[in-house]
Amino acid sequence: MARFDHFDLLAPLYETVIKPKEPETLWRHLNVPATGALLDLGGGTGRVAQHMRGKADQVVVADLSCKMLAEARLKDGLGPVCAPSEWLPFADGTFSRIIMVDALHHVINQKATVKEMLRVLAQDGVLVIEEPDVRKFSVKLIALGEKLALMRSHFLRPAEIAELFQQKNADAQIAYEDSTAYIIAQKK
């Protein structure tokens, strides 16, 4: 039985419907510019990664939707890679910076995704997970809408995301801005 992928369907329209936030907050949490490569995991069309060019030596967008990545290929300076977040085709310590923007709630295995992010993150590297704060009423409505649309979304509270980093050789902090939580982790 074929799997229906909402993101394959949305790919051509995604950036006209969902605009990225101003990147300055993300830049500040990532501590960029930085040397080394940056991974935008679950980065789809590259709508966020395009603002990371010049903030790292190389910018890679990894996503499970090859149709979303086809849109990312249209943007200069992005290296698209089709891969699940739980099994990344990169060597240990490949990236000095990793971002995951509004995507963790879409992955099948969030614990395995965090473990894999830390595997490919370089020593002293920084990763930032930007997620809607599901404790907010407006985000609860979004979560309900995604369930009604039969998306496989599973929203975690910010503290639950931070807990995924416990005993994983990383320190995690949480910052908030409006209805968004930023989980910032640094690999020890």
CATH superfamily of 6-187: Vaccinia Virus protein VP39 (3.40.50.150)
Structure confidence at residue 135 (pLDDT): 85
How do residues 128-187 score in pLDDT, each as one tens digit? 999 998 788 776 676 666 665 556 778 899 999 999 998 677 889 999 998 999 999 998
Q: Report pTM.
A: 0.86
- Whole-Å CA distances, 157 to 20, 48, 75, 166, 183: 21, 23, 33, 15, 11
Residues of the chain above pLDDT 70, percent:
82
Cα dist from 178 to 10, 29, 49, 148, whole Å: 26, 16, 22, 25
Give the number of other Cβ atoms within 10 Å of residue 54's Cβ. 10
CB 154 within 8 A of CB 131: no
Residue 3 has pLDDT above 90, yes or no: no
pLDDT > 70? residue 125: yes
Question: Domain map of the chain by residue range?
Answer: 6-187
